[in-house]
Every structure is written in structure tokens, then in C-alpha cells.
Amino acid sequence: MIVPLQKDDELIADFNEVDSVTGAIHVWWLGQSGFLVKWRGHGLLFDPYLSDSLTRKYEGTDRPHVRMTERAVDPHRLSGLEVVTSSHNHTDHLDAETLLPLTAASPGLKLVLPEANVDFARRRLGPAGPEFVPVDAGNFVEVGPFTIHGITAAHNEIEYDEQGRVRHLGYVVTCGKFALYHSGDTLWHDSLVKEVRRWKINIAFLPINGNKPERGVAGNLNGFQAAALGKAISASFVIPCHYHMFEFNTEETDEFVESCERLDQPHRVLECGQRLTMGPLVQTSAGDAWRSEPAEDEI
Ligand SMILES: [Zn+2]
């Protein structure tokens, strides 16, 4: 079992004590597609999966979900969050055993989710769940200092509900001069680059586990495609995700890293529980474009 670089008390202390005043942005990988973000003291959490619900659900089936990495943090103990996201309904992105304890630990917690999934999520989470803040592709919502834009995802197809709303999303989150892109689970599709290029993306969180139909699950970008998407949207950095959680659906980072090097795409491979701090920002001579100073890899 892979042991997170920081976990439990150590991770919580790092989240609570990290600098909140300089305007730097801090991100921690919590495994699978889960990324914890802190900016100026405000906490956001992308797509957390912090339980063993899938391992139990699929025990004894032909698709056992054997965990590869220990849980980074107990969701009952992770407080100080304002907003959590769910990109789609799959349990590794919408887990009651994660979201209910998180809500208890951070009263008033808001869940940003696709409008198309509100009824499903209400049934899964029940009355003790977080307050819903629904969004569709092409629209945005604001929670605290975070503006959260819905981006179309294809997992594996672009699916719509009966009202034409997209069922799988990615999110671009802006705060201050930062823009983060969390793609959710997606393959490359026709409008993806165009939708995301509206922003100068500082960090893109992209899956690398690939699309392998023989596994019987919806697929994702592979390592090469994640590097190429980072390049196509001019992301300052790409951080790979959606691997090392379940033995039946994982990947190594070699193809992603080699592709990034070949394409000259800056990237960081984080260990579970590791923090990356980016900032401060400087304005370029163009005035309207912003770039990051060399990202400082702490921890
Ligand atoms: Zn997933």
C-alpha cells in the first residue's frame, strides 16, 4: 500500500497552518481526482474520495476495487472548507461516505455539482448533505472568493439530461489572478480546448489512467493526451491524477512525464498528501497577461 507523503494529523496541520496572507495558492493531492486548495485562508476541495465505500461495494465481484494508496485524511477531521465539487455521479467523485462527514466538519459547506445531477445527488446524500450550488457547462457560480465555471466533459460521450444539461463537467476555478482547471473525468472532445482557453490556466489537474474499454468503465485521457491538452490550453503546470487508487484502473506516470518533456509542457507529479505552493504572481509587460514565478515545490 502506498503511504501518503503527509496524512491525517500532519496533513491537517499543514492545511491549517499554511500561509494565508501572501496571496500564494496551495494545493494538495488527496488521491484519485481529489485536490485540496487553499487561497487567502479559504478552502476548496475538488472531487474528494476519502472512504472505502467502493472497495466494500465491489468486494467479491469480478471488478474488485482494491485500494493502492492509504486514505490521506479522515473527512470527519478535515474542517475549514467552504466549497467542495463533484464533477459527475460516479462514486469516486460523489461519495456519501466522504461528503457527509465533510459537511459535519464544515457547517455551511457548499457542493458545486452539475445541474443535471441534482436529483441523483439529493437521493445519494440525503438531508444531511451539503448545500447544493448547481452549475451547467458554459455558466458559473460564486462561492466565497471562488468563481467556478462549468466545462463540458466527455466520459466517454458528452451526455445530456432531458433538459439539455451536461451530466459530466470539469471546472475552471478562478480566485484573485489564479485560474485552476480540474477536468473531471474526460476524454478529448471537440469543444474542450476552446472552452478552457478563455482563461490563462495556472494549474491543470488532468487524469492519466486512459481509456481501456476492456475494464468495463468509462475512460479518461491517457498520459500523452493529458500532456497534449496541457499544451493546447497553455497551462502553466499540469498535475496528473486518477491513478494509484484502485488496482484495476490505474496507470504509471512515465508516459505523461515523457510526453510533457517532449512537448516542453511544465508539470509536477505530486505524491498523495504532498503540497504544491504557487506564487507570488507578477504581471507581465503585456499588462493583462499573468504568469507565475517559478512554482515553489514545498514539502
Ligand atoms: Zn473517476
> What residue spans define the domains of the chain?
8-292
pLDDT band of residue 20 (cuts 50, 70, 90) is confident
256 vs 226: CA distance, rounded Å: 7
Question: What is the distance in A from the centroid of ligand 1 to the CA of 92?
Answer: 5
> Domain spanning 8-292 has what CATH number?
3.60.15.10
CB of 295 closer than 8 Å to CB of 268: yes
pLDDT band of residue 280 (cuts 50, 70, 90) is low
Question: What is the distance in A from the centroid of ligand 1 to the CA of 197?
Answer: 23
Question: What is the distance in A from the centroid of ligand 1 to the CA of 249?
Answer: 9
Average pLDDT of the chain?
92
pLDDT band of residue 254 (cuts 50, 70, 90) is very high
What percentage of the chain exceeds 90 in pLDDT?
Answer: 87
pLDDT for the residue 288: 39
pLDDT by residue (tens digit) across 195-217?
Answer: 999 999 999 999 999 998 888 88
Question: What is the distance in A from the centroid of ligand 1 to the CA of 54?
Answer: 12
Question: What is the distance in A from the centroid of ligand 1 to the CA of 281?
Answer: 32
Question: What is the distance in A from the centroid of ligand 1 to the CA of 155?
Answer: 9
Question: What is the distance in A from the centroid of ligand 1 to the CA of 142?
Answer: 25
pLDDT for the residue 216: 81
Question: What is the distance in A from the centroid of ligand 1 to the CA of 240?
Answer: 13
DSSP 61-103: SSS---B-B--S--GGG----SEEE-SSSSTTTS-HHHHHHHH
Question: What is the distance in A from the centroid of ligand 1 to the CA of 290?
Answer: 31
Ligand 1 ion: nearby residues, β-carbon < 5 Å: 92, 185
**pTM of the predicted model, to two decimals?**
0.93
Listed range (20-34, 98-112, 141-155, 179-193) with the worst mean pLDDT: 20-34
**Statement: residue 299 has pLDDT above 60:** no
Question: What is the distance in A from the centroid of ligand 1 to the CA of 22?
Answer: 34
pLDDT for the residue 285: 45
Q: Give 132's strand partners.
A: 111
Question: What is the distance in A from the centroid of ligand 1 to the CA of 104?
Answer: 24
Question: What is the distance in A from the centroid of ligand 1 to the CA of 242?
Answer: 7
**Statement: residue 123 has pLDDT above 70:** yes
Residues 6+ apart with CB under 8 A from 152: 137, 138, 158, 166, 168, 169, 170, 189, 191, 192, 195
pLDDT for the residue 7: 96
End-to-end CA distance of the chain: 21
pLDDT for the residue 21: 75
pLDDT band of residue 228 (cuts 50, 70, 90) is very high
Question: What is the distance in A from the centroid of ligand 1 to the CA of 33?
Answer: 7
Q: Give 240's strand partners.
A: 206
274 vs 256: CA distance, rounded Å: 19
Question: What is the distance in A from the centroid of ligand 1 to the CA of 62?
Answer: 18
pLDDT by residue (tens digit) across 99-114?
Answer: 999 999 999 999 999 9
